[in-house]
Structure 1
Amino acid sequence: MKNFKYSFMVLLGGVMYGTMSSFVKLSYASGYHAAEISFSQAFLSAMLLGLTLLLTTGKTSLQRLSAKELVTLMLVGGAIGLTNFLYYQSVSYISASLAIVILMQFTWFSLLLEWLIFRQRPGRPELVTVLFILVGTVMAGNLLQTDTLYFSWQGMVLALASSFTYAVYIVANSRVGKGVRWQSKSTLIMAGSALTIFIINVQPIISDNHFGYTFMLWAIFLAVVGTTIPTALFAAGIPKTGAGTSAILMAVEFPVAVLCAYLVLHEAISPVQIAGIIIMLAAISVMNYYKSSKTKKEN
């Protein structure tokens, strides 16, 4: 039951994160750009999580952390900050549905990173699950209909880069700060995210900002729904479930993003895409059941 709780936390975080591309694309209609959206989202999230930290554990919880833990958690935040910025940039060039298709490559990127860096070779069930996810990706992303696909090399490269940094975030998050309370961990991660985005976009953030009432409404909504809650869920759940399983659970972002793009942006969705979404959800469910059964046998 405990393992299910942490798996559900990762899954819920993925669902919430999956809605973001559609709403970010809507915000572009008001003249906002990826740099200010991603920075304000990360900054407000860090402030909200910091407030939660002070109210629940007090400032001494951060003082107990070593310099190494502080730096590594900030670097983990840099990875998710880059992910959000690159991903938000990509949806200004390609459709939200296609952007999430490319982002989904984090599933095999994360398994590959664990294999190359930590020598943890993925098992047959994980490889089979990834295969089904890739098949579902092709179908749900409508990649077979290349004649109607809105294609941009710049958007594709940005989305692929975001999938790699997302994989780095998942692997690092599963191994860094395991003994750190989720309040401290998520606060430092979002502080590192905001700092990274600001450093690489300092000029447009300062000179081209559109800060005002409407912008703040967008920023607060994106910060709470798309960053604060998912970051807290990931900080608590990923270390307990592991990078491989978390990467598979977080694949739920894809069908959620496609459905959200259909409902919010009115992007077309075909029966083939629906079939692809079902295949992906089935693969995620089977893998989660396999992992839960394996854990019960070991215990």
Structure 2
Amino acid sequence: MRNFKYSFIVLLGGTMYGTMSSFVKLSYASGYHAAEISFSQALLSAVLLGLILLLTTGRTNWKKLAGKELVALLLVGGTIGLTNFLYYQSVSYISASLAIVILMQFTWFSLLLEWFIFRQRPGRLEMVTVLFILVGTVMAGNLLEADALSFSWQGMALALASAFTYAVYIVANSRVGKSVKWQSKSTLIMAGSALTIFIINAQPIVSDNHFGYTFLLWAVFLAVVGTTIPTALFAAGIPKIGAGTSAILMTIEFPVAVLCAYLVLHEAISPVQIAGIIVMLAAISVMNYYKSLKTKKGS
């Protein structure tokens, strides 16, 4: 039951995060760009999470953090900051549906990172699940169609880079700050995210004068729905169930993103894409079913 609880937490975070590409692309119609959107989203989220931290735990929780742990969590935040910025940049060049297809490569990136760095070879169940996820990705991304080749290579490269940094974030999040309360952990992660995005994009963020009432509404919405809540959920759930299982569960972002692109951006969705989404969801469900059976037998 405990594992199910934390699996659901990660799944919910992935669902919320999956809606973001469509709304970010919608915000571009108002003249905003990825740097200011991702920075304001991270900064507001850090402030909101910091307020939650002060209201729920007080200042004493900060004193328990060692210097190395604090820096490590800021660096973890830098990886999710890079992920958001690169991903938001990619939807400037390619469709939201195709961007999420490429982002989904974090699944095997994260498994490879765990294998190469920590010598944790993925089990047969995880490998089979990833195989079905990749098949579903090709189908749901409509990559078998001829016109799927007419995409921007720059957008593809940005989305692939975001997939790699996302995998680093998942692996690092599962290893760093396990004993730190989720309020402190998520606050530091988002502070690191905002700082990293600002360092990379200081010039356009400072010089572009888009900060007004409409922009603030976009920033608050994206910060709460797309960053604050998912980051808190990931900080609470990922360390409990591990990077491998988290990476597979978080593929829920894909069908959610495709569905959201269809409803919000009116991007076309074919029967093949729907079948691909079903394949992915079935693979995730089967994996979790068998993992729960193994947990019951081991207890």
Query: Is the TM value for this pair above 0.5?
Result: yes
In the TM superposition, what whole-angstrom CA distance separates every residue of 1:242-264 from its partner, at most 9, and x where no partner exists? 00000000000000000000000
Residue 142 of structure 2: aligned partner: 142
Query: Letter of the aligned partner of 1:197 in structure 2?
Result: I
1:231-280 deviation per Cα after TM superposition (whole angstroms, max 9, x unaligned)? 00000000001000000000000000000000000000000000000000
Shift of 1:60: 1.5
C-alpha contact 1:36 1:209 (8 A) present in aligned 2: no
The question of 1:18 aligning with 2:18 is answered: yes
Tell me the secondary structure at the aligned position of residue 147 of structure 1. Answer: helix
Cα gap change, 1:265 to 1:118, in 2 (>3 Å)? same
- Give the aligned partner of residue 124 of structure 2: 124
1:156 equivalent in structure 2: 156
Deviations 1:141-189 (A, max 9, x none): 0000132554000000000000000000000000100000000000000
Q: Partner of 2:3 in structure 1?
A: 3
Pairwise CA distance, 1:64: 1.3
Pair 1:133-2:133 in alignment: yes
Tell me the equivalent position of 1:250.
250
TM alignment of 1:209-288, pairs within 5 A: 209-288=209-288
Deviation at 1:295, TM superposition (A): 1.8
Given that 1:97 and 1:141 are in contact with CA atoms closer than 8 Å, whether structure 2 keeps it comes out as: yes
Letter in 2 for 1:290: Y
Matches within 5 A, 1:71-86: 71-86=71-86
Are the equivalent residues in 2 in contact too, given 1:45–1:228 (CA < 8 A)?
A: yes
**Cα distance in structure 1, aligned partners of 2:148 and 2:171:** 35
Superposition deviation, residue 209 in structure 1: 3.5
Give the residue type in structure 2 aligned to 1:151. F
The AA in structure 2 aligned to 1:218 is W
Equivalent position amino acid for 2:253 in 1: E
Alpha carbons of structure 1 residues 145 and 31: separation in structure 2 relative to 1, 3 Å: same
2:100 aligned partner: 100
CA contact (8 A) 2:99 2:159 kept: yes
- Cα pair 2:139 2:275 within 8 Å, conserved: yes
Q: 2:190 & 2:148 partners in 1: Cα distance?
A: 38
Say whether residues 1:170 and 2:165 are aligned partners: no
Number of aligned residue pairs: 299
1:296 shift after superposition = 1.9
Please give the alpha-carbon distance, in whole angstroms, between the structure 1 residues aligned to 2:209 and 2:89. 16
Q: Given that residues 73 and 189 in structure 2 are in contact (C-alpha distance below 8 angstroms), is that contact kept between their aligned partners in structure 1? A: yes
The root-mean-square deviation of aligned C-alpha atoms, in Å, is 0.7
Q: Does 2:110 match 1:110?
A: yes
Instruction: Tell me, yes or no, if the aligned pair for 2:142 and 2:148 is still in contact at 8 Å.
Output: no
**Aligned equivalent of 2:205:** 205
Structure 1 unmatched runs, 5+:
none
Aligned residue identity for 1:226: G
State the shift of 1:203 in Å.
0.2
Distance 2:148 2:66 in 1: 53
1:293 matched residue in structure 2: 293
Partner of 1:51: 51
Among the aligned pairs, what percent are the same residue? 87
For 2:244, the aligned partner's letter is G
Q: Post-superposition shift, 1:287? A: 1.1
Which residue identity lines up with residue 248 of structure 2 in the other structure?
I
Instruction: Give yes or no for the alignment of 1:69 onto 2:69.
Output: yes
Q: Distance in 2 between matches of 1:136 and 1:129?
A: 10
After TM superposition, give the deviation of residue 208 of structure 1 in Å.
1.1
Deviation at 1:107, TM superposition (A): 0.2
What residue identity is the alignment partner of 2:46? A
SS at match of 1:114: helix
Inter-partner Cα distance in structure 2 for 1:161 and 1:209: 28
Paired with 1:262 and 1:149, the residues of 2 have a C-alpha distance of 20
Which segment drifts farther, 142-151 or 180-189? 142-151
User: What 5-or-longer segments of structure 2 have no aligned partner?
Assistant: none
Measure the CA separation in 1 of the matches of 2:148 and 2:200.
34
